[in-house]
Amino acid sequence: MTVAARAPSGAGLWPWSVFAALIAAAGLPIYIHAPKFYVDTYGVSLAALGAALAVLRLIDVVQDPFLGWLAEAARKWRGAMVLGAAGLMALSMLGLFAVVPPIAPLLWFALTLAGLFSGFSLLTILFYAQGVEKAGSLGTGGHLRLAGWRETGSLLGVSIAAVAPVVLMPLSERPFTAFAWGFALLALIAALSMKAEWGEGTAAPKPRDRGQAGLAAALTVFRPALSDPLARRLLLIALLNAAPVAVTSTLFLFFVESRLDAAGAEGPLLLLFFLSAAGSAPIWSRLADRLGAKRALIAGMIMAIAAFLWAVTLREGDVIAFSFICAASGAALGADLTLLPAIFARRLSQIGQGGEGAAFGLWSFVSKLSLALAAATLLPALDWAGFVPGAGNSPGPLFTLTLLYAALPCALKLLAISLLAATPIPEA
């Protein structure tokens, strides 16, 4: 992508980084920590947690398009919706980690995650939709520059959230409680820092006649994205590309503890992974300027495959080798999170028919569909294979864990690369 001119300064974009950090902190880290926390603390089985996560993500799959419609229909009240969603996330996080379940732990797990995921979904949709408008005000190359600030903040947020409970263990008897209160404070800071960015907004277009009322009127907000062949293809690529991340984030702690026999190394390895992702984000943006976003993204996806092919060969004690894999796969994730949403946002801007909130509702929908499928299959598959968390496992269950964690993402990534390579994406 060739950038002819840039806006004079990006100094005013720091609130986007802070807000992105909030959203990211409630994403992958919850998939990393929550299942293991409820296994270790309350003895909930892997199969039960997998089923609960699958049901919750399927609820998300249904509600995200509705939330996308709501983001368009209630544009004038986006600021209020943001405050409400941020508050819901904070309360749900406190309930998940800082409150002893007043009911059955599995049911409490499901209820608090339902609130957390709903707030997360609405904030993500509103945030990325507003980003399309913001990038348009930044001049040529605005989408990639905003993506650099936004995704760097996102990756820093996910890095801190991923390692915070581990880092807090020597400092607090209840590290997850401290983490939850820290998240609530971040929610307040992020909401206040972005307050001026939502503006007054405009109301969504009204139906031209009564025949468009109801469901038909709601569906019209999805038309700009769904009627464009390239936007539809990008949504499919996002679905395939999110699947490897869903797999690895679900199984990371189990892989380190049982396959590598490296309990206690999870925190440093997670920190290395996410800091590599955060540090790579501006590099991928510059590389996209020079080579084009599509070629830069494919390069990052190939890097991820190479890293996880190496992970297939690891055995007990291979922590140093895995640290290199974490660095490489983290850098590859930086390409995914920086470039693919920027390509999609730029396409929405090129279409120029509005509906950005609804479009990112669909984007969130396909990402979470991957997470739902991962939760529905991976944890029960490990359980059926005889894998026992935190215990000595025979070679059979460990082999299953390795195939699911390292080999499966490679196959999924190859499918995503094939589809992306066959997709013509304008670079300007």
pLDDT at 143: 61
Residue 9 has pLDDT above 90, yes or no: no
* C-beta of residue 147 within 8 angstroms of C-beta of residue 296: no
Element (DSSP H or E) covering residue 190: helix 175-193
pLDDT score of 254: 86
Run of H or E residues at 87: helix 78-98
Count CB-CB contacts under 10 A for residue 42. 14
Six token digits for residue 152: 């760097």
Q: Of 225, 195, 182, which Cα lies nearest the Cα of 356?
A: 225
pLDDT at 389: 79
Mean pLDDT in the chain? 80
Which of the two residues, 223 and 35, has the higher pLDDT score? 35
**107: which 2 tokens?**
């049911």
Residue 395: its pLDDT value, please? 87
Confidence category of residue 199, pLDDT binned at 50, 70, 90: low
The pLDDT, as a whole number, for residue 144 is: 64
- Whether 308 shows a pLDDT value over 80: the answer reads yes
Predicted local distance difference test score (pLDDT) of residue 338: 80
Q: Environment class of residue 201 by beta-carbon count within 10 Å: exposed (0-12), middle (13-18) or buried (19+)?
A: middle
The average pLDDT across 49-61 equals 77
Rounded Cα distance between 231 and 223, Å, is 11
Tens of pLDDT, residues 137-188: 666 566 667 777 777 787 788 778 877 887 887 787 888 999 999 999 999 9
Cα(395)–Cα(122) distance, integer angstroms:
43
Whether residue 211 is predicted with pLDDT greater than 90 in this model: the reply is: no
Give the span between the Cα atoms of 400 and 249, in whole angstroms: 16
Identity of residue 74: A
User: Rounded mean pLDDT of 308-312?
Assistant: 93
Q: Is the pLDDT of residue 334 over 70?
A: yes
Give the pLDDT confidence score for residue 357 in this predicted structure: 62
- The whole-angstrom separation of Cα 302 and Cα 106 is 38
Question: Mind listing the pLDDT tens digit for each residue in 343-361?
Answer: 887 887 777 665 566 677 6
User: What would the pLDDT profile of 224-273 be if each residue is shown by its tens digit?
Assistant: 667 778 888 888 888 888 888 888 878 888 899 889 988 878 778 887 88
Average pLDDT over residues 284-307: 90
Contact, 115 vs 88, CB < 8 A? yes
Q: Is the pLDDT of residue 393 over 50?
A: yes
Report whether pLDDT(5) > 60: no
Least trusted range by pLDDT, from 9-18, 250-259, 333-342: 9-18
Highest mean pLDDT among 156-165, 279-288, 292-301: 292-301
* Whether the Cβ atoms of residue 364 and residue 64 lie closer than 8 Å to each other: yes
Closest Cα partner for 38 from 377, 380, 389? 389
pTM for the model stands at 0.69
| Higher per-residue pLDDT: 414 or 161 | 414
